[in-house]
């Protein structure tokens, strides 16, 4: 799960940079928001350990 979180944080940063350079700011904001929300979703533990 931590690797998915890191992947989505990386994609959020990358999409913010690339779309800003290409002049597509609104698309960059949308993609960054989606990737950031996905990273937050995968950062939370889904199952509690029974130990």
> For residues 16 and 32, is the Cβ–Cβ distance under 8 A?
yes
Check if the beta carbon of residue 5 is closer than 8 Å to that of residue 32: no
Which tens digits make up the pLDDT trace of 19-32? 889 888 888 889 88
**What tokens were used for 42?**
């995968």
pLDDT, one tens digit per residue, over 2-51 is 788 888 888 888 888 888 898 888 888 898 898 888 888 877 776 665 44
Annotated domain spans of the chain: 2-43
* Helix/strand/coil (H/E/C) assignment for every residue in the chain: CHHHHHHHHHHHHHHHHHHHHHCCHHHHHHHHHHHHHHHHHHHCCCCCCCC
């Amino acid at each position: 799960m931590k690797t998915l979180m890191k992947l989505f944080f990386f994609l959020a940063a990358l999409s913010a940079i690339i779309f800003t350079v290409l002049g597509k700011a609104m698309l960059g904001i949308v993609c960054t928001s989606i990737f950031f929300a996905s990273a937050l979703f995968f950062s939370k533990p889904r199952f509690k350990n029974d130990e």
